[in-house]
Chains A and B, each alone.
Chain A
Amino acid sequence: MEQNDALYWSPRGGNNYKDFWGSCHAFTSKQTNKDTGVVETDTILVDLGQHEQTRDYENGRFDKVVPALDDIIEIPGFPEPDPEKKCKALFVSHGHSDHIGAISTYVSMGAKLPPIYCSKMSANLIMKDFIEKGIDEAKWPEIKEINAGDTITVGNLKVRTMAASHSIPGAFSFKISNDSASIFHTGDTKGDPSSFLGNGVNFDDYKKIAEQGPIDLMTFDGTTAANNGHATYESEVKGAYSTLIKRHSDKQLIMPMPAAHAERIATIISAAAENGKDVIINGGPVMDSTIVGLQMSGYDLQKLNPNIRIVGANSEEAKKLDPKKTITITTGIYGESNAPMTQFCNGDKSAINIEKDAVIITPLIGSRSERLAQLLAKCPDTKDLITYTSKDLSTLYGSGHAQRDDFIKIAGILKPKAVTTCHASTKLANRFINMASELGYATLGRQIRNAETVKVTAQGCEVIPNEKKNWFGWEKNGEDKKPEKFHDDYGTVESCRKEIEKAKKAYFERQTLNKLMKNAMVNFSKNMGGR
């Protein structure tokens, strides 16, 4: 093996200073051809997302921010990239816009995108973006559907797909390897084996991957990885809903939730089916779009739950159903002005049918969702209704990202030689580093910043610093202009070290507090038992 032969990973978005939006990761194989002696270079991307909170940059002067990839993708108006550096394939982990939203931006710019490999669900959401932007079908890039278990070869790179569990079906983790090394890129996952759309994580598949050879680096979903416990599984969420449905089986049930949470809609419908309740979908067009997207991708909720009826609120069938035998899934969890629940609370009683003794079940969590709580409390028609939130039953809420126990489980199977974060801010990455170190895993010492590169070989990882401008930004109404390039301000290496120390201290303080609380609980239980 030659000196430069290695697998290189470079985050190009999502490993930001303040947040984790705009996911994009480049993986490059450099491998010397044994016959010719020529070093062959193959680059692929995983995800091409847009930044969801552009106000985080340059005092919010940009309206749109996406990863700047002019060094590996041919874009009109930019110097043509070195042919050997051009990206040969784009893999998509899942169909959320912070992972796919920049694809349509690049197509609109006239960029020559490589073939896109993704699940049918992701493909449909990418196409939805093209449709929404009015991009002529003839200009759409080639999209190749892939499934969990597939291995795709791109030059000297092999990409093996595995089912990931997130809040949307058709999500993947990837093992990316060449002759020099292997990287396991989790994408967004919570390591949940349960899914009511049939796409949970298959740990047997992880075991197979582990048996095939060592993982030299794992880039792990860092969003909530350092939080104690495990992510709430869909089976637990279903259990919570099912308990409440049983408790109020003779009442109309109203369930506000986020409109695009495809997995959760399926979970709630599954709980409804378990209890023989028909379902009315009254969440407005974004929720309709989620359901149609699922249908389009082979997830027909009606076929999955044949013992109940699932109907749109505008349908004739919905009007014929006895409200007390139904669950209405709706939106308005954040008090959005167009959502049916909000409109109802603001006086438009035609927006949604709510009986006088209906029961509201909703995963209200965090300050934003307090708006709905306030609206419900103020509205004369809802203020006296029985309402359950995550405060009453915590498993009504569950995020789509792994926590500490999920990391322990996944890393325990894959046994990576080193771990680091993807999809994490500097702060979240620091928390993860401390947790992983405490658990005995080698880390790369600090967050790998956008545009930096890690050279990975069987012998270890080497960080190659880089502060090149990694983002494209467009000001409002300037999307037809050439974008400006800029970079995250991560601070100095010294300030980074201080941040890690600070996070370390906070982490150990929290762990100590948790241990103390646990001991206190154990003692309390013992004392209670002794009475």
Chain B
Amino acid sequence: MALYIQIAEKLEKKFPKTDLIGISDNDLINLIASVGEKYESSTDWLYKLKMAWTTVRSQGDNNSELDAFI
């Protein structure tokens, strides 16, 4: 099985403008298929993939977070 991050990288490359907050499960499954990857129907799989996608997208984002911890 490909790592979440690998699938997310493919998705980000092909669909860089996707709204990750509002995307439906069905739409996400279709996007996964369109990049040649398989949807795994295990617990939280889609959420984990969505989280990986936000991670890929946030690489290089320098939003400073320290104050959020305080």
Q: A258-B68, A286-B63, A288-B58 are in contact. List 5 more A-B contacts (CB 8 A).
A: A288-B21, A291-B21, A312-B20, A368-B64, A401-B70
CB within 8 Å for A312 and B54 given contacts A260-B68, A336-B62: no
Let me know if A288 and B57 touch, CB within 8 A: yes
Q: How far is the CA of A223 from the CA of B70 in the complex (A)?
A: 8
A188, A260, A401: which has the most chain B beta carbons within 10 Å? A260
**B-chain residues with CB within 8 Å of residue A267 when the two chains form the complex:** none
**Nearest Cβ distance between residue B60 and chain A, in whole angstroms?**
7
Within 8 A of A (CB), among B11-28: 17-22
Q: How far is the CA of A295 from the CA of B19 in the complex (A)?
A: 14
State the B residues within 8 Å of A (CB): 3-6, 17-22, 44, 47-48, 50-52, 54-55, 57-58, 60-70
Let me know if A52 and B69 touch, CB within 8 A: yes
Let me know if A336 and B20 touch, CB within 8 A: no
**Nearest Cβ distance between residue A272 and chain B, in whole angstroms?**
15
Identify which of A98, A259, A281, A334 contacts B69 (C-beta below 8 A): A98
Q: How far is the CA of A128 from the CA of B51 in the complex (A)?
A: 6
**Quick one: closest B residue to A338, CB to CB?**
B61
Let me know if B4 and A131 touch, CB within 8 A: yes
Let me know if B54 and A288 touch, CB within 8 A: yes
Q: How far is the CA of A366 from the CA of B20 in the complex (A)?
A: 32
Within 8 A of B (CB), among A142-175: 167
Interchain Cβ contacts under 8 Å between A and B, 11 examples: A96-B68, A124-B51, A131-B55, A132-B55, A259-B63, A259-B68, A286-B65, A287-B63, A289-B55, A296-B44, A333-B67
Q: How far is the CA of A500 from the CA of B35 in the complex (A)?
A: 62
Q: How far is the CA of A188 from the CA of B54 in the complex (A)?
A: 26
Let me know if A258 and B22 touch, CB within 8 A: no
Q: How far is the CA of A364 from the CA of B54 in the complex (A)?
A: 26
**Nearest Cβ distance between residue B59 and chain A, in whole angstroms?**
8
Let me know if B69 and A96 touch, CB within 8 A: yes
A310, A314, A331: which has the most chain B beta carbons within 10 Å? A314
State the A residues within 8 Å of B (CB): 52-53, 96-98, 124, 127-128, 131-132, 134, 136, 167, 188, 223, 258-261, 281, 283-289, 291-293, 295-296, 310-315, 317, 331, 333-334, 336-339, 366, 368, 399-401
Q: How far is the CA of A235 from the CA of B30 in the complex (A)?
A: 41
**Nearest Cβ distance between residue A370 and chain B, in whole angstroms?**
13
CB within 8 Å for A288 and B62 given contacts A131-B5, A223-B70, A296-B44: no
CB within 8 Å for A289 and B58 given contacts A131-B4, A296-B51, A331-B63: yes
B5, B18, B20, B68: which has the most chain A beta carbons within 10 Å? B68
Identify which of B18, B58, B63, B69 contacts A314 (C-beta below 8 A): B18
**Nearest Cβ distance between residue A50 and chain B, in whole angstroms?**
11
Let me know if A134 and B22 touch, CB within 8 A: no
Let me know if B54 and A289 touch, CB within 8 A: yes
**A-chain residues with CB within 8 Å of residue B47 when the two chains form the complex:** 124, 292, 295-296
Let me know if B5 and A127 touch, CB within 8 A: no
Q: How far is the CA of A136 from the CA of B4 in the complex (A)?
A: 9
Q: How far is the CA of A420 from the CA of B56 in the complex (A)?
A: 41
Let me know if B61 and A286 touch, CB within 8 A: yes
**A-chain residues with CB within 8 Å of residue B66 when the two chains form the complex:** 52-53
Let me know if B69 and A286 touch, CB within 8 A: no
**Nearest Cβ distance between residue B39 and chain A, in whole angstroms?**
15
**Quick one: closest B residue to A315, CB to CB?**
B19
Q: How far is the CA of A308 from the CA of B63 in the complex (A)?
A: 27
**A-chain residues with CB within 8 Å of residue B19 when the two chains form the complex:** 311-315
**Nearest Cβ distance between residue A291 and chain B, in whole angstroms?**
5
**A-chain residues with CB within 8 Å of residue B63 when the two chains form the complex:** 258-260, 283-284, 286-287, 331, 336, 338-339
Let me know if B20 and A260 touch, CB within 8 A: no
**A-chain residues with CB within 8 Å of residue B48 when the two chains form the complex:** 127, 131
Q: How far is the CA of A171 from the CA of B27 in the complex (A)?
A: 33
**B-chain residues with CB within 8 Å of residue A317 when the two chains form the complex:** 22
